Chains A and B, each alone.
Chain A
Amino acid sequence: MPAIEVSNLQRAFSAGVLAVAGIDLRVDAGEIYAFLGPNGAGKTTTVRMLTTLLRPTGGSATVAGHDVVAEPAAVRAAIGVALQEAALDPLMTGRELIRMQATLHGIPRAEGQRRADDLLRRVGLVEAGDRRVGTYSGGMKRRLDLASALVHEPRVLFLDEPTTGLDPVSRKSIWEEVEALNREGTTVFLTTQYLEEADQLADRVGIISAGRIVAEGTPAALKAEVGKPRMELVLAAGERGDCVEVLSRFGDPLPPRDGTLMIEVAAGSAAIAPVVRALDEAGITVESLDVVEPTLDDVFVAKTGHHLEGDEASEPGTGEAEAVSG
């Protein structure tokens, strides 16, 4: 049985704007599935529908075998949810929050207390557990939110942008925790606007843009789909001459960008030595040379026509990206 199965799911807001314009996806039990896309792509709207916080306006979805519209209570009992920005009551202590969450899930008092202790230890908040949440750092809040989402040992865990705004160290600790949970058998559905996060954590990635899934697969498969590794060269000033001819012996040339020449090299790093030797023989001086594997950003550019990162503020479909990739 798939953990999540979504068919033509839609959400229209007033004025007929489709925030989610009909998506299909399937997440198997035990997978980590990452939803990758910029702000406004429809990630949060999708998560809110799958966690029964927003009613779909079309299509259907089942989570842990239950229909999100027909059996919301059963879905809620099966899922753990840590939503964007970790909205936590600043007046409660970390321990109180986890215990309240246990109560909300019908866990008896003594058991809730025991789980709160375990979870605080697990996310490294034993010391801070009896302090008010208002005094926590951003990373501590996210870890507490994650812990509270785990209190009823959910089968499916939803994490909406779990590391947005965190420093690299805090981000790493969340990643490790998610990986550990997944090893223990929890299915994880996470959204992110960070390529690295999807690449590092996810078994499969769905790329969402303007409310639609534009590509889906394992990170490796997605990258392989958009192309081979490429070599990027910067030559010493004025050295252009024959180099295009020399390079084309090793692979198909790509359009140059900012004075950097690029060719596709199927062999990857193994092509470095022959290329350097050939250029040397032709008397061309190389300033720098690098072999770049395709990234999820390349996938993103190939599928949507613009870059993911550094493009957060602008709406999908605005011009900036074309200038770079074209």
Chain B
Amino acid sequence: MKGSVAVVAELGRRSIRQTFRRPQLIAPLLVIPTLLLAVQAAGAGRAIDLPGFPPVESFFDFLLAGAMLQSALLAGNSGGIALAIDIEMGFTDRLLAAPIPRFAIVAGRLAGTAAMGAVTAVWFLAIGLIFGVRIEEGLLGALLMIALVTLAALSFGTLGAALALRSGSASVVQGTFPLVFVILFLSTAFFPADLLLEPARTIARFNPLSFIAEAVRDPVISVFSARELLEGLAGIVLVGAAGLALCSLALRRRLRLG
């Protein structure tokens, strides 16, 4: 067990190093969500006047959580791409041939994804503070948001990793990039559920991302609610568990087929 921890730590360090040494990988994770945040917050800013919109200071406050989760989803996708590149280049084979537990390969990669998630959360908090967002729950609320977004990136990362292990192809994982936006648009990341058009409204009510988004948003727009937090955590655990199960299936298949 102690050995596994060391292996995961080493692989995690590698994947985090890799992430921060290639700014061109991390830049798109921040640039596109930031651009969309800026444009949507101002472009649809009057949305808060709509009847039924929850009481918020500004649409920007409402959207901040959505932008963070958009980045977290993109981080999960890009972590999957990095793993697929490792597979394509044979690095994963070298690890599989080494006397280390299989899960260490995925866990190491996920450490990099989680790190990206933390960076994006801090980035958007900074942007939010610069542009006048007031976090109702203060410092503790901000830390809670960072923790939630990091965990969310981790759980989205399991899906990206599963796809990488199943396909072994970076271009396939990259091809699922638009899916990130499908998941986002069909959730309450950008707009309250009651004001979405059908069928998005119904789907958003069941989309785990909606619960995660509400939990991340909660500290910004209202007083702390244990219920929202627990629902958000449940969403993260659900996605993560599903992702890990798929990872395990894909890894087994990969080993069986050689």
A and B touch in the complex (CB under 8 A): no
